Structure 1
Amino acid sequence: MNRLSTKNHYKLYKSGKQWITALVIATTLGITAVTTTAHAEDNPDTTSEQSELVKSVSTKTDDGSKPNNLVNQTENSKQEKAADQSSMTKKLGQDVKNEEQPAKVTTTFDNDQQLHKLFTSDTDINTVKQLLGPATIFHIFSDQTEISADTNGNIVTKILLNGPEFGTRGESQNHTTRDVYYIGSIDQIGANAFRTGNNYVVLGDDSNVKFNGDQVFINGNRLDHLKKADVHVVKGYLNIDNELNSLRNTSGILASLPNDSKVIVDFGDMNNRIIDVSHATDNLIIINIDASSLEQPQPITIKGLSSNRDGAAVILNVCGAKETINWQTQTKLVYDDGTQVGPGESHNKPNHVLWNFGNATQFININSGYLMGSVLAPNSEITANVNADGNLIGKKVNIKGGESHRWDFWAPEFVVPVFPHGNNDFVYLPHNGQSTTPGKATTPVKPTTPKKATTPVQPTDPSKPTSPVQPSTPVVPTPQPSNPKVTTPVKPTTPEKATTPVQP
Structure 2
Amino acid sequence: MNLYRSKKITLYSTLAFGLLTISGGIASATINDSFNATSVKADSSIGSTNSGIHLASDSILQDTTNFPNIADINNNNPLGIASLFSIFSKNTSLSADTNGNIATKSLSANNIDFGTRSNNLNNSKVDLSYIQNISDNTTLDAQAFRAINSVAIFGNTIPISIQNNQVKINSSRVNTLDSNNTYQDQKDKQYIDFNKAFSELSSKSEQYMGSNQSEHVTFNFSDPNQQSIDISKADQHNNSVYVDIDYSVISRPQPITIKGLSSQINGANVIVNVKNVPSNATTSAQINYEYDNGKQISGNSENHFLPNHVLWNFGTTVKNIDVTSGHLLGSVLAPNATVNVGVNIDGNIVASNVNVQSGETHRWDISTPTNNSGNNTPTNNSGNNTPTNNSGNNTPTTNMTMPSTPDSNSTHKVIAGNTNVIDTPLPSQKHSESRVSKYNNTLPDTAKKEQHNSIMSLIGLTAAMGFLGMKNYRHKKE
Instruction: Tell me which interval the TM-score lies in, with the shorter structure as reference length.
Output: 0.5 to 0.7
2-side partners of 1:228 and 1:261: how far apart? 53
Offset at residue 103 of structure 1 (A) = 4.9
Counterpart in the other structure of 1:402: 359
Counterpart in the other structure of 2:158: 207
1:198 aligns with 2:162: no
1-side partners of 2:227 and 2:290: how far apart? 13
Offset at residue 328 of structure 1 (A) = 0.7
Which structure features the higher share of helix residues?
Answer: 2
1:378 aligns with 2:335: yes
Offset at residue 105 of structure 1 (A) = 4.6
For 1:289, which of 239, 245, 266 is the aligned residue? 245
2-side partners of 1:441 and 1:202: how far apart? 39
Counterpart in the other structure of 1:143: 90
The answer to whether the Cα contact below 8 Å between 1:181 and 1:200 also exists between their aligned partners in 2 is yes
For 1:330, which of 276, 286, 293 is the aligned residue? 286
Counterpart in the other structure of 2:262: 306
Offset at residue 104 of structure 1 (A) = 3.9
Residues 4-23 of structure 1 mapped to structure 2, 5 A cutoff: none
1-side partners of 2:309 and 2:54: how far apart? 39
RMSD of the TM alignment (CA)?
2.0
Q: Could you tell me which amino acid in structure 1 is paired with residue 205 of structure 2?
A: S
Q: Which has the larger radius of gyration?
A: 1
Aligned residues: 324
For 1:278, which of 229, 232, 242 is the aligned residue? 232
CA-to-partner distance for each residue in 1:381-400, whole Å, 9 max, x for gaps?
Answer: 01111000101000000111
CA-to-partner distance for each residue in 1:150-194, whole Å, 9 max, x for gaps?
Answer: 100001000002251100012411011110111101121211211
The answer to whether the Cα contact below 8 Å between 2:329 and 2:347 also exists between their aligned partners in 1 is yes
Counterpart in the other structure of 1:129: 75
2-side partners of 1:415 and 1:364: how far apart? 35
Between 241-250 and 254-263, report the one with greater CA deviation. 254-263
The answer to whether the Cα contact below 8 Å between 1:138 and 1:408 also exists between their aligned partners in 2 is yes
Structure 1 stretches of 4+ with a deviation exceeding 3 A read 103-106, 440-443
Offset at residue 110 of structure 1 (A) = 1.3
1:343 aligns with 2:300: yes
1-side partners of 2:294 and 2:143: how far apart? 38
Counterpart in the other structure of 1:155: 102
Counterpart in the other structure of 1:222: 173
Unaligned runs of 5+ in 2: 1-48, 384-478
CA-to-partner distance for each residue in 1:77-123, whole Å, 9 max, x for gaps?
Answer: xxxxxxxxxxxxxxxxxxxx94x462545521111232234xxxxx4
Q: Could you tell me which amino acid in structure 2 is paired with residue 239 of structure 1?
A: D
2-side partners of 1:416 and 1:329: how far apart? 35
Q: Could you tell me which amino acid in structure 2 is paired with residue 132 of structure 1?
A: L
Change (3 A) 1:351 1:208: same
2-side partners of 1:321 and 1:297: how far apart? 16
The answer to whether the Cα contact below 8 Å between 1:127 and 1:413 also exists between their aligned partners in 2 is no
SS in 1 for 2:65: helix
Change (3 A) 1:182 1:248: same
2-side partners of 1:310 and 1:416: how far apart? 15
The answer to whether the Cα contact below 8 Å between 1:101 and 1:209 also exists between their aligned partners in 2 is no
1-side partners of 2:98 and 2:198: how far apart? 22
Between 205-214 and 348-357, report the one with greater CA deviation. 205-214
For 2:347, which of 378, 384, 390 is the aligned residue? 390
1-side partners of 2:372 and 2:310: how far apart? 16
1:264 aligns with 2:218: yes
Unaligned runs of 5+ in 1: 1-96, 118-122, 420-425, 429-435, 444-504
1-side partners of 2:365 and 2:55: how far apart? 29
Counterpart in the other structure of 1:242: 196
Q: Could you tell me which amino acid in structure 1 is paired with residue 166 of structure 2?
A: Q
Q: Identity, % of aligned pairs?
A: 36
Change (3 A) 1:398 1:141: same
1-side partners of 2:291 and 2:343: how far apart? 23
Q: Could you tell me which amino acid in structure 1 is paired with residue 131 of structure 2?
A: I
The answer to whether the Cα contact below 8 Å between 1:128 and 1:137 also exists between their aligned partners in 2 is no
Change (3 A) 1:320 1:442: closer
SS in 2 for 1:114: coil
2-side partners of 1:106 and 1:247: how far apart? 22
SS in 2 for 1:129: helix
Change (3 A) 1:191 1:415: same
SS in 1 for 2:109: strand
TM-score, length basis structure 1: 0.61
1-side partners of 2:287 and 2:351: how far apart? 20
Counterpart in the other structure of 1:179: 127
SS in 2 for 1:268: coil
Change (3 A) 1:378 1:415: farther
1:255 aligns with 2:212: no
CA-to-partner distance for each residue in 1:268-288, whole Å, 9 max, x for gaps?
Answer: 111111111112131321111
SS in 1 for 2:108: strand
Change (3 A) 1:416 1:181: farther
Change (3 A) 1:442 1:324: closer
Higher relative contact order (CA 8 A, sep 6+): 2
1-side partners of 2:356 and 2:243: how far apart? 27
Q: Could you tell me which amino acid in structure 1 is paired with residue 256 of structure 2?
A: I
Residues 94-113 of structure 1 mapped to structure 2, 5 A cutoff: 98=50, 100=51, 102-105=53-56, 107-113=58-64
Offset at residue 199 of structure 1 (A) = 1.0
Offset at residue 416 of structure 1 (A) = 7.4
The answer to whether the Cα contact below 8 Å between 2:73 and 2:81 also exists between their aligned partners in 1 is no
Change (3 A) 1:333 1:415: farther
